Amino acid sequence: MAREFARVGVVGLGTMGAGIVEVFAKGGIEVVAVEVTEAAAAHGKEQIESSTARAVSRGKLAEDDRAALLKRVTVTTDMAQLGDVALVVEAVPERLELKSEVFAALDKVCAADTIFASNTSSLSITELSVRTQRPSKVVGMHFFNPAPVQPLVELVRTVVTEPDVVDDVRALAERLGKSPVVCGDRAGFIANQLLFTYLNQAVGMFESHYAGREDLDAAMKFGCGYPMGPLALMDLIGLDTAYEILEEMYRQSRNQRHAPAPILKQMITAGLLGRKTGRGFYTYAEPGSSQVVADALTPPPPGSDDATLRPISRVGVVGTGTMATGIAEVFAKAGYDVVVRGRSESKGEGAVAAVRKSLEKAVVKGKLTEEARDETLGRISTTVDFSGLAECDIVVEAIAEDLEVKQAAFSALDEVCKPGTILATTTSSLPVVECAAATSRPADVIGMHFFNPAAVMKLVEIVSPITTAPDVTATVRDLCAKIKKAPVLCGDRAGFIVNALLFPYLNDSVAMLDAHYATVDDIDSAMKNGCGLPMGPFALLDVVGLDVSLAIERSLYQEFRVPGFAPTPLLEHLVTAGRLGRKTGHGFRDYR
């Protein structure tokens, strides 16, 4: 039987502490909330009252329930009132010595079987536990902000934490309507360890001028469905807070990927801490505002810069697979004449049929008229010879992800296409410059990485090797905007933006599992419920395919030679065993 927690304590009534008090009280538990001064106690009580009043105004809490909730809360400056509680959650500022002092004081007033929990987001629970007289009854209980809303609670066990303590606290979290996950004692635990490693890498991309802030953020929002881009999220969290978390992660792990990007220290020194100061990676209307305003780094809209744009009216597509037909549909719907080159007439007819099927679905759903469908299909023609693409203004290659095959296609296009035609590749991992090298016009070659399904996904990564002419990049960026896509600019290196940020994070997740740090379900839950991601890493890996993921991770490691990018042995073993994900019915999970 799980232990009954009828009365608990919370020490510290800042934003997190006040939120935790509200969670417990809403769950029907009496709460003794302790602050160091009367002023701090009054401010904390006011936060709880204000938060619950907002919940009533939004229809999420009845007035009678609010009154009952507030009645369960006792706010005091006398720590001795915690003498009869079953659990105490410490929620004071992130300083090891301060938290240790709190636990030492609690040791003197609490019963021997009282469980001590810390809400720390990065400090070692083990280091905190050994400062007490009861290390076996100390756990991490990391709520996420705002605590009354966010479902995730990370429960952190040390090597000496009693299993019953973890089980009891987990049952309590579930009783409170939370989604608890259990993990070992590492800096950052699950969510922050995975999240901040990814955020730090994105900051490094920005610092090295590989991609602009808007492009980095748009890439992860539109390419992965993330609720916020990495740099906007850093501004929301606060650069000083992010720096402290990364520093603690690096102190414990000595992993170079956890070492804060140097630009963070510079920005913090300059007072650019994010939204709370009005400036961070972006500039805001005022301190605390979420409204971004233009500044010196804001890029001009597509087509509005000084570059001369090449005229585009006729588009060629090489390939008849899923990606090629999706791209053909996108251009034809936008009003462009499209020529699809297939290896045979039947392949070409199949491509047109695939477009017709997609358009029919849109008609059935009321998203497209029958007239628009017919007009779109009327703009698509097919050819079996590359010469049929001779008069195209841009040709987009969308064939197999094999460098030799792509180079042969670019060599053939180079021979038949008119001067000035832009030649684009949809590769997601191969070097664009290698395709350019197969032609006599490398300045006209560019990467145009659509995401699958191309007719739906808004993102297009525009990849410009060092050989690409500026007017080609400007033309393709403007073209993407005209076909209602979200273009992002980046250089020609493995993974571009999205894969270079996404797959190291996925690899880190597998490494966590391989180290028996946390379970598949707990890691997925942590990233969905704690970070608002559309899917957990293992669910996503099973969808992408473990073999595809392994190939991308190998290419990233080959390019950057970063130890943390090397595919984990567990991933390699699963692929060898034929557990490739949903497509084989078995991956990190089993599917029917």
Q: What is the pLDDT of residues 110-156, one digit of tens each?
A: 999 999 999 998 899 999 999 999 999 999 999 998 999 999 999 99
- With cut-offs at 50, 70 and 90, classify the pLDDT of residue 304: confident
Non-local CB neighbours of 406 within 8 Å, separated by 6+ positions: 397, 399, 400, 425, 427, 430, 434, 435, 438
Per residue in 533-582, pLDDT tens? 999 999 999 999 999 999 999 999 999 999 989 999 999 999 999 999 99
Catalytic site includes residue 38: no
DSSP one-letter code for 343:
S
Q: What is the mean pLDDT of residues 304-308?
A: 75
pLDDT at 301: 86
Active site residue 46: no
Torsion sign across C-alpha atoms 339, 342, 345, 347: negative
Query: Can you give the pLDDT at residue 501?
Result: 97
**452 included as an active-site residue:** no
Kindly report, residue by residue over 356-410, the tens digit of the pLDDT. 999 999 999 999 999 999 999 999 999 999 999 999 999 999 999 999 999 999 9
Q: Is the bond preceding 146 in cis, omega lying within 30 degrees of 0?
A: yes
Q: What is the pLDDT of residue 319?
A: 96
The tens digit of pLDDT for each residue in 470-494 reads 999 999 999 999 999 999 999 999 9
The residue from 118, 122, 129, 142 that is catalytic is 142
Sequence-distant contacts of 254-257: CB under 8 A, at least 24 apart:
255/564, 256/562, 256/563, 256/564, 257/197, 257/200, 257/201, 257/504, 257/562, 257/564
Q: What is the pLDDT of residues 161-193, one digit of tens each?
A: 999 999 999 999 999 999 999 999 998 899 999
Strands 152-156 and 422-425: unpaired
Looking only at the bridges linking them, the beta strands covering 87-90 and 73-76 are unpaired
- 200 noted as active-site residue: no
* % of the chain surpassing 70 pLDDT: 99
Mean pLDDT of the residues in the chain: 95
Mean pLDDT, rounded, for 77-89: 96
User: Which residue from 389, 390, 408, 388 is spatially nearest to 399, judged by alpha carbons?
Assistant: 408
Q: Is the pLDDT of residue 306 over 80?
A: no
Task: Say which of 22, 154, 329, 397 is annotated catalytic.
Answer: 154
Residue 305 clears pLDDT 80, i.e. is over it = no
| pLDDT at residue 2, as a whole number | 74
pLDDT > 90? residue 282: yes
State pLDDT tens for residues 61-72.
Answer: 999 999 999 999
pLDDT over 90 at 313, yes or no = yes
- Beta-sheet pairing, 73-76 with 314-318: unpaired
Catalytic residue (choose from 51, 119, 121, 499): 121
Q: How far is CA 11 from the centre of its chain?
A: 32
pLDDT at 429: 82
Long-range contacts of 528-533 (CB under 8 A, 24+ apart): 529/144, 529/150, 529/151, 529/152, 529/179, 530/144, 530/150, 530/152, 530/154, 530/190, 530/191, 530/195, 531/191, 531/195, 532/226, 532/227, 533/224, 533/225, 533/226, 533/227
Please check whether residue 526 is in contact with residue 178, taking contact to mean a CB–CB distance below 8 angstroms: no
Residue 293 has pLDDT above 80, yes or no: yes
Mean pLDDT along residues 442-458: 96
pLDDT band at 302 (very low <50, low <70, confident <90, very high): confident
pLDDT band at 420 (very low <50, low <70, confident <90, very high): very high
Q: Which of 51, 118, 192, 358 is catalytic?
A: 192
What percentage of the chain has pLDDT greater than the value 90? 95
Which residue in this structure is represented by tokens 């087509």?
A: 303
Confidence grade of residue 269 (pLDDT, cut at 50, 70, 90) = very high
Phi and psi at residue 139, in whole multiples of 5°? -135, 165
